[in-house]
Structure 1
Amino acid sequence: MEALNHLPLTIAAAIRGLFADPQSIWADLTMTIVGVIAVIIVVVLAALILILLERKVAGWTSQRPGPNRLGPRGWFQTIADALKLIGKEDVTPAGADRFIFKVAPMIAFGLPIMTLAVIPYGYKMAPVDLDLGVIYFLAISAVSTLALLMAGWGSNSKYSLLGAMRAVAQMISYEIPLIFSLLGVVMITQSFNLSTIVESQSKIPFIVLQPIAFVIYVIASIAEVNRAPFDLVEADQEIVAGPMTEYTGLRWGLFFLGEYGNMTAVCAMAATMFLGGWQGPFFLPGWIWFWLKTGVLIFFMMWVRWTFPRMRIDHLMHFAWKVLLPLSLLNIVLTGMGIYIYQLVIGG
Structure 2
Amino acid sequence: MGRAHGHGSRSRGHRPRGPGAAPSSLARRVRARQNRSVEPARGRPEKSALASFLRARRAALRPEDVELPAEPGRRVAGLRREEVARLAGISVEYYRRLEQGSGHQMSVQVCRSLARALRLDGAGVAYLQRLALPGADASYEVHRGEAPPPDLVEMITLWDHTAAYIIDRNQDILVLNALMRAVAPGYMEVGNNLGLMQFEAPPEVRALSSWQEGARTTVARLRYYGDPDDPRWQEIVGLLLDDDDFRAMWDRHEAYPMTSGRAPNHFAGHGWVDLRWQVLEAHPGLYTLICYGAPGSVGERALTELRTAFREARPEQPQTGHQTPTEGSRLARHRRSARRTEDDGHGRSTAADGDPGVYSEGHDGVG
Same fold (TM over 0.5): no
TM-score, scaled to structure 2: 0.28
Structure with more relative contact order (C-alpha pairs < 8 Å, separation 6 or more): 2
Q: Looking at secondary structure, tell me which structure has more strand per residue.
A: 2
Q: Looking at secondary structure, tell me which structure has more helix per residue.
A: 1
